[in-house]
């Protein structure tokens, strides 16, 4: 039933794709401007780490006993994942009723899928009390449907890199300018460490509209400690905490950005937007954070059971060169067993940019065409790209299961680690197949 409603909404998509806020603002006007009645909003944009940063923010808030509305995209398996109301995902019946209400109000007007579902999230959030609203942009920032919130309490910019060039521009400065569009006059902005060209754009925008910047490496940092924990230092506080519960050294950055947001909202703002967090709540949030398909180890399920004893199966949905570089850096610590790869990617993505830092790290790689995705790169083309980037054993496979079987057959004499990577769409299919 949910899929039937979503299919109808998809058919409302404008014939010409143009990034604009006009359509969503018209719909929100008919709904009574729910975007103006949300609990305090933290608005998160960036290229990589958005979802993980949101996951840390939610984990910290919930560990401290706060109720948080959260809007994220895309979903991996079920659309319900996108809208979390005061900590709870909507069940199918509630979601169908909400979407059909929005559909009726929209009355057949052209509108994108993301715009209409963003409006649905805002309406749901106004109907249940909460302490905080955490919004993740879908694409870009300036003209993203979530950017209709006029006065967030805080904006956050995670690392900005090349992605979605067909919509955001072919130069990193243009992409940074679009992401910086979530900044609001006088509203502080927490920013992760960025490249030199990106920082210049963000600083110029912040000076233009009077935005206080809270910068990683200057105003805050989170470092790993020799005992396996982490240490956060901000402008007003230091916290000794466990290591992040998400795998990958790059998650220290995402956790640090989230902690800087918590510090700003609970300690720096006068009056505080949210209560001061006890260190025990932050420690619990660090350990309990969960965000699927971000260097996630799969520990059970039918795909795991296809592997011999001692083998590991990991999943990551990163799909741009910046994400691949982060995985490649983390892979340097995986020296205890060979690394195998299972790779699939959309044809609209930069396959060569993704594989350049990563392909040669695979002992063997099997490629798949992503099931059900019309714009998937073919398994044959993906294998050819991996070979171009010095993966010495890359070959196409007919399915995820066939790829796993082929990897086991290529290295049956000792345990190995398999990383499934290249696309969030592939990650979603894998999670669905694995139960």
| Residue 127 pLDDT greater than 60, yes or no | yes
Distances (CA, A) of 332 to 95, 170, 246, 336, 337: 43, 31, 17, 10, 11
- pLDDT for the residue numbered 9: 84
Residue 53 token pair? 């940063």
Mean pLDDT of 132-142: 93
- Express each pLDDT in 282-320 by its tens digit: 999 999 999 999 999 999 999 999 999 999 999 999 999
How far is residue 102 CA from its own chain's centroid? 26
Residue 6 token pair? 């979503």
- Express each pLDDT in 355-392 by its tens digit: 999 999 999 999 999 999 999 999 999 999 999 999 99
Write the DSSP string, 65-79.
Answer: T--EEEE----SS-G
Decide: residue 57, CB within 10 A, 0-12 exposed, 13-18 middle, 19+ buried.
buried
Q: What is the pTM of this model?
A: 0.91
| Residue 245 pLDDT greater than 60, yes or no | yes
- pLDDT for the residue numbered 317: 94
Residue 407 token pair? 């990897």
Element (H, E) at 28: helix 22-30
Strand 229-233 with 221-224, pairing: antiparallel
């Amino acid at each position: 039933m949910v899929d039937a409603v979503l299919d109808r909404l998809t058919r409302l998509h404008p014939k010409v794709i143009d990034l604009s806020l006009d359509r969503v603002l018209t719909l929100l006007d008919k709904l009574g401007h729910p975007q103006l009645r949300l609990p305090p909003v933290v608005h998160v944009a960036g290229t990589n780490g958005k979802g993980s940063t949101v996951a840390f923010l939610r984990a910290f808030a919930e560990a401290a006993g706060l109720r948080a509305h959260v809007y994220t995209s895309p979903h991996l398996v079920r659309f319900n994942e996108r809208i979390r109301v005061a900590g709870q995902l909507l069940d199918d019946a509630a979601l169908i009723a909400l979407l059909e209400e929005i559909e009726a109000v929209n009355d057949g007007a052209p509108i994108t899928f993301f715009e209409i579902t963003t409006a649905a999230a805002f309406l749901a959030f106004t109907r249940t009390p909460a302490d905080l609203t955490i919004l993740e942009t879908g694409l870009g920032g300036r003209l993203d449907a979530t950017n209709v919130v006029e006065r967030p309490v805080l904006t956050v910019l995670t690392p900005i890199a090349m992605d979605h060039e067909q919509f955001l521009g072919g130069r990193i400065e243009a992409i940074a300018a679009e992401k910086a569009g979530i900044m609001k006059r006088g509203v502080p902005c927490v920013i992760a460490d960025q490249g030199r060209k990106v920082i210049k754009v963000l600083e110029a925008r912040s000076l233009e509209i009077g935005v206080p910047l809270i910068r990683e490496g200057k105003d805050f940092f989170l470092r790993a400690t020799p005992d396996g924990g982490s240490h956060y230092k901000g402008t007003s506080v230091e916290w000794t905490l466990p290591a992040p519960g998400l795998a990958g050294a790059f998650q220290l950055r995402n956790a640090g950005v989230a902690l800087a947001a918590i510090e700003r909202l609970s300690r720096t703002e006068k009056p505080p937007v949210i209560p001061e967090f006890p260190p025990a709540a932050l420690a619990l949030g660090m350990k309990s954070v969960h965000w699927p398909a971000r260097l996630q180890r799969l520990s059970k399920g039918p795909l795991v059971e296809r592997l011999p004893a001692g083998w590991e199966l990991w999943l990551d949905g990163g799909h741009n060169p910046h994400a691949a570089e982060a995985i490649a850096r983390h892979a340097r610590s995986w020296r205890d067993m060979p690394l195998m790869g299972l790779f699939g990617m959309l044809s609209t993505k930069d396959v060569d940019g993704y594989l350049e830092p990563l392909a040669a790290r695979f002992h063997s790689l099997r490629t798949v065409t992503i099931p059900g995705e019309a714009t998937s790169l073919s398994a044959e083309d993906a294998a050819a790209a991996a070979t171009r980037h010095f993966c010495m054993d890359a070959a196409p496979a007919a399915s995820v299961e066939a790829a796993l079987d082929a990897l086991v057959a290529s290295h049956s004499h000792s345990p190995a680690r398999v990383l499934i990577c290249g696309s969030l769409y592939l990650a979603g299919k894998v999670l669905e197949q694995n139960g």
